[in-house]
Amino acid sequence: MCINTPGSVTCVCPRGFYGDGRKDGKGCIKVTKSKSKTIILTGIGSALGFLLFLLMCFGLYKMLKKRREKMIKEKFFKRNGGLLLHQQTNEGALGKTKVFPSQELEVATDYFNESRILGRGGQGTVYKGMLSDGKIVAVKKAKLVEESQLEQFINEVVILSQINHRNVVKLLGCCLETEVPLLVYEFMPNGTLFELIHNPNNEFPITWSMRLKIATDIAGALAYLHYASSVPIYHRDIKSSNILLDEKYVVKVSDFGTSRSVNADQTHLTTLVKGTFGYLDPEYFQSSQFTEKSDVYSFGVVIVELLTGQRAISMGKTDDDRSLATRFLTCMEEKCLDKILDPQVLEQGRMEEVLLVARLAQRCLNLKGKRRPTMKEVSTELESFRISQMSCSIVKEEVEDETVFEAKPYIIFRY
């Protein structure tokens, strides 16, 4: 069948034939079985070849993508201080700290969903996550990719890898292959000491014995950092919001981003002033020299928070009364401590015990660092106060039991 076209003609062969259908050309040639097989095999071969080409292209794309992702992760690892961490850890490849893949932490936090946020701080945001094994963790994500903050993150990994204490938060691992570094900690379900003191729960009031135990445990952790760890460590940012509480309300000192290790013969660190107003040692603020007694001052403010239930800085007051430490020291000098104490402390605590703790806090807040006690002395004193308090509680219970027993009427049976 031929169709005329301008200046030419187009012919189509009938079914079972092939060719151009022209008399002056190939004409129409009948398709034989062998020729049919050849055409079919040629078509299949062409299809398979094209499919193989597509598979090769896809494999090459995946390989290049994987290589690119690896290069990006290596770039982030170096930028996020991985090499610095490698140098500072004693055992080389991140020591005993587990390195989490970025994908696992993304899945654990539902891709850092805002509903998972536990808190925000100066260094970053903390998310609640669940690992593949079902373990609940807290994932700390850096806020900004700045060199100073990266140093704080790496410093926190190095510091916490050296510490093993029941009252210091445990670092489970880190991830440095993401755009910003991630740190993974054990999860603390009961928030911070700041929330416990300043946002009280009527169903679970913070008792005097609980306050004393919290103060004792914090002091024990700081004494360990100063004297019992492999190298002395100054925390440099002790405050109630950096004290976490586990499911049994056991305290865990956290946030070691600004902490520093010092040599055994080193008496102070000369650094830019870092810390939180209200907890900052006035001597350090003036001299820029941070000593172990600077941590003692900050801890003294935390004790006063526990005693008074008031914030370290009260924005609604005048400049002179804004500092809790200043108001407390004034009350101690004027012997009007009862005016500043928390009502629950007045109600539940024995006045002798409360006064002893208050005097210890007064010594910790001495403006001259040399006159402050060491954290080891503070820990020992608080431990003795607590043992004494527990002994008094036991004696009181025994006396009450005896009183109840003696008060029971005697019934005389007559036979």
pLDDT one-digit tens code per residue, 180-193: 778 899 999 998 99
pLDDT one-digit tens code per residue, 319-348: 667 899 999 999 999 989 989 999 999 998
Residues 274 and 349 in one domain: yes
What are 128's strand-pairing partners?
138
In three-state secondary structure terms, 164 is: coil
Task: Grade residue 409 by pLDDT with cuts at 50, 70 and 90.
Answer: very low
Closest Cα partner for 81 from 213, 257, 343, 302? 257
Boundary (domain end) residue, out of 145, 163, 186: 186
The answer to which of 172-176, 235-239, 411-415 has the lowest mean pLDDT is 411-415
In a domain? residue 69: no
SS3 breakdown of the chain: % helix, strand, coil, rounded to 5? 50, 15, 35
Residues 252 and 206 in one domain: yes
Longest dimension (CA), the chain: 146
pLDDT one-digit tens code per residue, 387-396: 887 776 665 5
Our count of domains for the chain comes to 2
Task: Grade residue 397 by pLDDT with cuts at 50, 70 and 90.
Answer: low
Q: Is the pLDDT of residue 127 over 80?
A: yes
DSSP collapsed to 3 states, 169-237: CCEEEEECCCCCCEEEEECCCCCEHHHHHHCCECCECCCHHHHHHHHHHHHHHHHHHHHHCCCCEECCC
Which CATH number fits the domain that encloses residue 234? 1.10.510.10
- Range 206-224 average pLDDT: 94
Decide if 364 contacts 378 (C-beta within 8 A).
Answer: yes
Closest Cα partner for 176 from 105, 95, 88, 73? 73
Query: pLDDT: is 235 or 142 the higher one?
Result: 235
Please name the residue that has the structure tokens 């950096």.
242
Residues 246 and 385 in one domain: yes
CA 297/CA 302 separation, integer angstroms: 9
Residues 219 and 174 in one domain: no
Choosing from 237, 281, 295, 342, which is the catalytic residue?
237
Is 320 an active-site residue? no
In a domain? residue 37: no
Tokens of 369: 């660092």
Q: How far is CA 300 from CA 137, 140, 204, 223, 341, in A?
A: 31, 28, 25, 14, 15
